[in-house]
Amino acid sequence: MPSPNPDHRAAPSHSVWRLAWPTIISNLLFNTVGFMHIKIVAELGTSAVAAVTTGHRVFFLVQAILMGLSVSATALIARSWGAGHVEQARNVNWTALVLSLALAALLSVPILLAPEAIAGLFGLDLQTTRSAAGFIFWLGVFNVASAANLMLSTGLRATGDVITPLCFLFFSSLLNVLFAYFLAFGLGPLPQLGVPGVALGGSFAGMIITLCFIAMWWRGKFNLSRPTRARMDWSIARQLVSIGTPAVLEQGLVQLGFLVFFAIVARYGTNAYAAYGIGISLVSFSIVVGFGFGIAAATLVGQQLGAGRPDLALAAGWRSLRLALIAMGALALVQVWYARELASFMIDDPEVIQLTVIFIYMLAVCLPMMACDLTLAGALRGAGETRFPLKSTFCGMIFGRLIPAGLFLSLGLSVYWIFGVMILDYSIKAFMLLRRYRSRKWLAMEQVAIGQD
């Protein structure tokens, strides 16, 4: 198990890879589930693909808000673990878990009460809206279980244990896809539920694995177990909220911006909308690689700052960026080369295939800027600096994506112009984050101070 005191002499590249590769695999598995959901319903037609795409966007919005809380948990747990305060790290993990469950329950209320109204925001046809509403409803039913899994995985990764969450995610992903298929098309006594069955089957399978995860954690099977006294620490809760609020706002802004962007794309018809969903599911395999390096950067920066080594904290961010650029660039080349084959594998509609291919080309251009966004923003969050990533996200989303997309729509330009605004969005964010990280001002921030063991 990882030591609570990181090795200050460890080579930055070795440390980054050690933390990044299991996280990358975890995210690839997570993305594979979304990919397979779309592949499963592709047999039901373009409308079903659009419905699942809509359901995923709502799910990502909820998860993104919860991930904002996990950002602050990562910063505090990694800082405590790096300083050798194990019980303190456990208290942070417990408090973050309780807060995440409460937040997940609150977010589930509108999903359960008005799924069709939420799906209707995307402006799709009646059949697609109803299918999406069924998908969204079942995601809301199991939202609390998803939150528990997310926060327990976050706590373990913040200590450097990235293998345990990967193992649980592997079995969760396998069962998710199997149950989703069984309930989508019916198997034996199981009903054929179509699009809603994908969400019901997949989410139920995920809950089974989450219950096993919680049971083993409660019995102290991992290096970060439950605290000696399982109680809410309100001083820690206030710090989690203080550090996490900008991250929650950032993630909420991103997902709400994506929802608006999806609504704009939907104005060009179901084919364009489906192509966007398929393209995202394909290219996201490259994006999650960068996300893995961002998690590694956040963990290393937090641990090294907790151990009083800002020089290694700074180096960890730069090394994470370099490795992310290499890995994401290689994947982007493969996806561009096989863009048409990948699109044809997902669906057999010629117009959707052509739109998807163009989308993949444009998103590949964005990948170097995405690498900057994911890794450097992660490094800043690991230091407890969550306000600047919020600022860069706001500027990119509003001035780089939504305003230009709305303008192009009003001018009657083709959907290719809408796809192209992503390049401006990520360019703005990359420029701002590079300037902030190079300034080193974030190293001089007030250090996170939480009670000692």
For residue range 366-380, what is the model confidence (pLDDT) as tens digits?
Answer: 888 999 999 999 889
Instruction: State the pLDDT at residue 11.
Output: 44
- The single-letter DSSP state of residue 355 is H
Rounded distance between C-alpha atoms, residue 12 and residue 309, angstroms: 13
Q: Amino acid letter at 429? A: K
Q: Which of 19-33, 50-64, 194-208, 434-448 has the highest mean pLDDT?
A: 194-208
- Tell whether the model's pLDDT for residue 339 goes beyond 60: yes
- The single-letter DSSP state of residue 396 is I
Average pLDDT, the chain: 84
Confidence grade of residue 7 (pLDDT, cut at 50, 70, 90): very low
Percentage of the chain exceeding pLDDT 90: 21
- Tell whether the model's pLDDT for residue 281 goes beyond 80: no
Question: Half-sphere exposure of residue 140, counting CA atoms within 13 Å on the CB side?
Answer: 20
The whole-number average pLDDT for the span 315-332 is 88
The whole-number average pLDDT for the span 76-89 is 84
Confidence grade of residue 72 (pLDDT, cut at 50, 70, 90): confident
Confidence grade of residue 15 (pLDDT, cut at 50, 70, 90): low
Instruction: State the pLDDT at residue 313.
Output: 83
Rounded distance between C-alpha atoms, residue 330 and residue 332, angstroms: 5
Instruction: State the pLDDT at residue 2.
Output: 46
Confidence grade of residue 12 (pLDDT, cut at 50, 70, 90): low
Instruction: State the pLDDT at residue 431.
Output: 95
Rounded distance between C-alpha atoms, residue 181 and residue 35, angstroms: 13
Instruction: State the pLDDT at residue 402.
Output: 93
- The single-letter DSSP state of residue 123 is -
Q: Which of 67-71, 96-100, 162-166 has the highest mean pLDDT?
A: 96-100
- Tell whether the model's pLDDT for residue 8 goes beyond 80: no
Whole-model pTM over 0.85: no
Instruction: State the pLDDT at residue 215.
Output: 92
Rounded distance between C-alpha atoms, residue 189 and residue 176, angstroms: 19
> Regarding predicted confidence, which is higher, 94 or 302?
94
The whole-number average pLDDT for the span 281-292 is 77
In the chain, helix, strand, coil percent, each to 5? 80, 0, 20
The whole-number average pLDDT for the span 420-444 is 90
Rounded distance between C-alpha atoms, residue 346 and residue 182, angstroms: 19
DSSP 257-319: HHHHHHHHHHTT-HHHHHHHHHHHHHHHHHHHHHHHHHHHHHHHHHHHHHTT-HHHHHHHHHH
Instruction: State the pLDDT at residue 432.
Output: 95
Rounded distance between C-alpha atoms, residue 268 and residue 255, angstroms: 20
The whole-number average pLDDT for the span 250-265 is 80
Check if the beta carbon of residue 381 is closer than 8 Å to that of residue 320: no
Rounded distance between C-alpha atoms, residue 67 and residue 118, angstroms: 21
Q: Which two tokens stand for residue 244?
A: 């996490």
Rounded distance between C-alpha atoms, residue 55 and residue 138, angstroms: 10
- Tell whether the model's pLDDT for residue 452 goes beyond 60: no
Sign, CA dihedral 312-318-323-327, equals: positive
Instruction: State the pLDDT at residue 231.
Output: 77
65-76 exposure pattern, b = at least 16 Cβ within 10 A, e = fewer? bbbbbbbbbbbb
Instruction: State the pLDDT at residue 13.
Output: 55
Q: Which two tokens stand for residue 67?
A: 């991930």
Confidence grade of residue 312 (pLDDT, cut at 50, 70, 90): confident
46-55: per-residue pLDDT in tens?
888 888 888 8
- The single-letter DSSP state of residue 397 is I
Which 3 state secondary structure label does DSSP give 173? Answer: helix
Rounded distance between C-alpha atoms, residue 279 and residue 276, angstroms: 5
Instruction: State the pLDDT at residue 404.
Output: 94
Q: Which of 245-259, 264-278, 429-443 has the highest mean pLDDT?
A: 429-443
105-120: per-residue pLDDT in tens?
999 999 999 898 988 8
Q: Which two tokens stand for residue 126?
A: 């009646």
The whole-number average pLDDT for the span 245-255 is 77
- Tell whether the model's pLDDT for residue 427 goes beyond 70: yes
Q: What is the number of other CB atoms lying within 10 angstroms of the CB of residue 226? A: 17
For 405, residues 6+ apart whose C-beta sits below 8 A from its C-beta are 261, 264, 418, 421
Confidence grade of residue 417 (pLDDT, cut at 50, 70, 90): very high
Instruction: State the pLDDT at residue 69.
Output: 83
**Lowest-confidence segment of 35-44, 140-149, 234-243, 274-283 by average pLDDT:** 274-283
The whole-number average pLDDT for the span 271-276 is 83
Q: Amino acid letter at 58? A: V
